[in-house]
Structure 1
Amino acid sequence: MKLTIVGATGGVGRHLVDQAVAAGDDATAMVRDPGKLAGAPVRVVAADLATADPTTLRAAVEGADAVLSGLGPRSAADAGIATRGTRAVIEAMTTGGVRRIVVVSAAPVGTVPSPGRPHPPRRDPGDGPLMRYLLGPAIRRVLRRHYADLALMEEVLRDSGLDWTVVRPPRLTDRPLTGTYRTAYGCNVRGGLTVSRADVAHAMRHLLDRPESVGQTVGIAN
């Protein structure tokens, strides 16, 4: 499979690269700092998605079977990068004739408003009492700018006309790949509080082979 991986040096992105290489995929990694992938057996394209040249982005995605994006804000200073970067990638995909994209978002985003979805559900049907009434509201307050960015990114995807899938993990950990994670379409996983970054990457790649995931949000948890 020929893949373009966006945010390839991030927590999920690096696992996407490693798993693509292990599977024998023809992978192109789109990164801000190519030095972080020195020696990796992938094609590396240097691109700061906040200011990237459209020609560079098109060259990075053209001919790909799919795009996998681990792009997301790592700090308050990065708020907005998920939306800006995803818009740029969508434009490159549209121009280059690539349709399939799977991106990582976050479990609380289903209850976060965006301009095109100003009144989202107050609670996700997959959340238990702990997440609904205690953890969820606290997390959304602390990370409200991050989640607003991700909510807008999801809206941009919904309006893109591409074959998109959004994966919404809860708290990410650095535990090893298990391959035994749980998933739920259209809602968070019941009782799911954590998931490893390696398992998120594994799910994203395998969702490419599931046509029923197109146009869907997918909850995931260990």
Structure 2
Amino acid sequence: MRLTIFAASGGIGRHLLRQAVAAGHDVTAVVRNPASLADEPDGVRVVAADLATPDPAVLADAVDKADAVLSGLGPRSMAESGVASRGTREIVTAMRARGVRRIVVVSAAPISTVAAPGRPKPPPDPGEGPVMRYLASPLLKAVLRKPYVDLAVMEELLRDGGDLDWTVVRPPRLTDKPLTGTYRTAYGRSVRGGTVVPRADVAHCMLSVLQQPETIRQAVAVAT
């Protein structure tokens, strides 16, 4: 497949890049600083683009003829809150300009219960146990309010767009442990008891859903 990976030098994006190349895909990697991929596999087309101040023509060229777009975009600090929704909006605009429909993005496990403009009162997550629902999740949403709202807006952008074949992958706490390939998934809810997952497994899941039509227009939780 021809894949375009945004934020390909990030924690999940780098795993996406390496796994996609290892699987034989034709990869375009979009990063702010191409030098950050100097030690990555040969044969990857690297495009320099800053999604905070994007050039629409560069983004459109980056996704041109892609079978799918994958995004590991997310804030690296509180100061970057908003980057996921703003950047995804620019990516979607580029995709529409070139007729690309399939997109897979990474979000976060609690986002189904985070209020967004289109869903001011989201329902409870049936995958959350009592400890998560009444203690851990409220605490996380209080501490990470800005980045979580950003991700909720990003999801809403995809969900309400109507013309895209999107999949949102929602992991819990991320680790740097090696790929296991034995993670669990759940549609439309959190994975029961799933509190951590390696970034490598999130990348594996994001690539796997490209071969699973049933994941289109679905939020897929992933956890070990």
TM-score, with structure 2 as normaliser: 0.97
For 1:53-105, what per-residue CA distance to the aligned partner results, in whole angstroms no more than 9, with x for missing partners?
Answer: 00000000010000011001110111000001000000000011110000000
1:23 partner amino acid = A
State the aligned residue count: 221
Any unmatched runs of 5+ in structure 1?
none
For 1:182-220, what per-residue CA distance to the aligned partner results, in whole angstroms no more than 9, with x for missing partners?
Answer: 000111100100000000000000101111111100011
Aligned to 2:141: 140
Identity %: 66
Question: Would you say 1:209 and 2:187 are equivalent positions?
Answer: no
Looking at structure 2, the residues matched to 30 and 71 of structure 1 have their Cα atoms a distance apart, in angstroms, of 11
Question: Larger deviation: 159-168 or 54-63?
Answer: 159-168
Question: Would you say 1:118 and 2:135 are equivalent positions?
Answer: no
Looking at structure 1, the residues matched to 90 and 204 of structure 2 have their Cα atoms a distance apart, in angstroms, of 25
Looking at structure 1, the residues matched to 121 and 134 of structure 2 have their Cα atoms a distance apart, in angstroms, of 18
2:220 partner amino acid = V
Deviation at 1:133?
A: 1.4
Deviation at 1:39?
A: 3.9
Looking at structure 1, the residues matched to 193 and 184 of structure 2 have their Cα atoms a distance apart, in angstroms, of 10
CA RMSD of aligned residues (A): 0.7
Aligned to 1:131: 132
Question: Would you say 1:44 and 2:46 are equivalent positions?
Answer: yes
Aligned to 2:21: 21
TM-score, with structure 1 as normaliser: 0.98
Looking at structure 2, the residues matched to 158 and 133 of structure 1 have their Cα atoms a distance apart, in angstroms, of 27
Deviation at 1:128?
A: 1.2
Looking at structure 1, the residues matched to 38 and 104 of structure 2 have their Cα atoms a distance apart, in angstroms, of 25
2:125 partner amino acid = D
Looking at structure 2, the residues matched to 77 and 59 of structure 1 have their Cα atoms a distance apart, in angstroms, of 29
Aligned to 2:83: 81
Any unmatched runs of 5+ in structure 2?
none
1:168 partner amino acid = R
Aligned to 2:8: 8
Describe how 1:60-71 pairs up with structure 2 within 5 A: 60-71=62-73
Deviation at 1:24?
A: 1.2
Deviation at 1:134?
A: 1.3
Aligned to 1:107: 109
